[in-house]
Structure 1
């Protein structure tokens, strides 16, 4: 079980890095970068929920988990809005920037809040 949690945790970190990398790519190629961010944000939320269920028996700070899930849903929403606007040829780079900064904030929150 510990191996499974570790595998999902590594995938969660990769998704976090991919969101930030997608923002960097979106500076040069809008469609590719925002699409990367969208898939990474979706997978980060899903993997986070799986991790929450796998570690439920070990005790957890439910307020921290609720805050992180709420912020992750906001990130997914921002990236989805940026992706939809790009498909309509109305780029909104501010949404991608806010999503990337919020993702870094969520990662910092995870490290600092015990």
Structure 2
């Protein structure tokens, strides 16, 4: 199971890179590029899978930490989904995209410093 957890972690980090890298690519005129939206979706689902694997192996989990990361991930996905929808209607969505990128970085900080 450790191999599965490592593969999931690798994919999870690729999702984070898609969000942050996608934002960096359009930072001068923020918009919800597909890589960001799909990266956020992937991060959410893969993160849940990682928690499931850890739980199935009776690994010790900090459930408050998991809940905080899950909440932030839901907000990131929500912001990017709404931004993508607004952009299809030619409405301004740059603040939503920037907010999602900032929260993605916050989620990385939570993962690194609170564990």
* TM-score between the two structures when normalised by the length of structure 1: 0.92
Identify the residue that residue 87 of structure 2 maps to in structure 1: 86
Alignment of 1:1-114 (within 5 A): 1-27=1-27, 33-56=32-55, 57-114=58-115
Q: How far 1:59 sits from its partner (Å)?
A: 1.1
8 Å contact from structure 1 (residues 20, 103) kept in 2: yes
Q: Give the deviation of 1:91 after TM superposition.
A: 3.0
Greater fraction of residues in helix: 1
Contact 2:23–2:101 (8 Å) recurs in 1: yes
> What displacement does 1:28 show?
6.3
User: Could you list the runs of 5+ residues in structure 2 that have no partner in the other structure?
Assistant: none
SS in structure 2 of the partner of residue 72 of structure 1: helix
Q: CA-to-partner distance for each residue in 1:33-67, whole Å, 9 max, x for gaps?
A: 52211111001000000000001110100000011
Q: How many residues align?
A: 113
Moved over 4 A (4+): 28-31
Q: What is the aligned-residue RMSD (CA, Å)?
A: 1.5
Give the TM-score, by structure 2 length: 0.91
Structure 1, gaps ≥5 residues long: none
